[in-house]
Amino acid sequence: MDSRLSRLDIRNKLVESIGGKSEESLSCLKIDKDHTFFFDHEHDHVPGLMLLEASHQYAERMLEDATESYVAVMEASFFKFCLFNAPVMLSGKRLPSEEGDKFEIIVTQNGKQRAIVEFLFKKVSRPILRIEGDKSLQPCAAARVNKLRSENVMISTPVKCASGKMMCSSLPVNTANLFSDSREMAHPLYLVEAFMQLQRYINHCSESGRLRDILMGISFNQQQPIDRHCMFDIVADELTEDFGTKHFTRGAWLKTGDINFGRCDLHTVRLMTKHKAGEQHG
């Protein structure tokens, strides 16, 4: 049963061979290297966002009633890259929860765990937020958020606010961006990707040289869903390091109007790279 988050474009259907809703059912990730968002530029591994999207689709299919559900919490951990030399498999199970429908999705390749993603779905209990934003905002330069296609840029040029924090706004939905596709509500991974673009911009502008973050995990929560056309602001916290380990966390509040409707934290390992013309990273 389709939900208000369901992907409408057939090119966004990533999970194949679902054998029912049992905990033992296995599914295979459909990898289309012509997908204009996931493969905006060349990758040497399956993009992490693609694994998250497939995990969300798998979990959504396990819901008994998806029509009025939204993702209230998502916790993801990545252990190793998925490569293109073997099938990527997904399996899932329901977890006990009194708060809503909770699922654990496990991503494997060659019989080894590559990622674990937990979702907590709740029923929509309040009206979906529909607040107009400034539609005259100009997009950030594509190269600064590691994109080749201009339609895949989802944020305005970030600025430093009075508190010293970096912030940006989402842009009006561009229908040419395949990742903007959802039935009614803004997709949780659309919100996550918008923050990831802000993170890439900050790294790109680092005075110490081009920084590359290897994504190790994501923590996301949403108190209230927003309409897919609702514009929102992203206000990023300062980066924090875990005791000199090169493991970092940066969080951000997601706001529309005066309402903080969501929060996202990115957990990364940091590498330094040199600036190279046309350089692209996953």
Q: pLDDT at position 179, please?
A: 92
Q: pLDDT at position 143, please?
A: 94
Residues contacting 128, CB < 8 A, separation 6+: 4, 184, 185, 224, 225, 226, 227, 230
Q: pLDDT at position 255, please?
A: 96
Q: pLDDT at position 38, please?
A: 97
End-to-end CA distance of the chain: 33
Q: pLDDT at position 19, please?
A: 59
Q: pLDDT at position 230, please?
A: 94
**Beta-sheet strands, E only, within 26-87:** 26-29, 69-78
CA distances from 48 to 51, 86, 158, 192 (A): 5, 16, 24, 12
Instruction: List the domains of the chain with CATH numbers.
Output: 10-272 (2.40.160.210)
Task: Collect the ranges in the chain with pLDDT lower than 70.
Answer: 1-5, 17-24, 207-211, 243-244, 272-282
Q: pLDDT at position 244, please?
A: 67
CB 51 within 8 A of CB 106: no
- Taking only the tens place, the pLDDT of each residue in 112-141 is 999 999 999 999 988 899 988 888 899 999
User: What gap in Å lies between CA 123 and CA 29, rounded to an integer?
Assistant: 27
Q: Where are the alpha helices (DSSP H) in the chain?
A: 48-62, 188-204
Q: pLDDT at position 67, please?
A: 79
User: What gap in Å lies between CA 130 and CA 230, rounded to an integer?
Assistant: 5
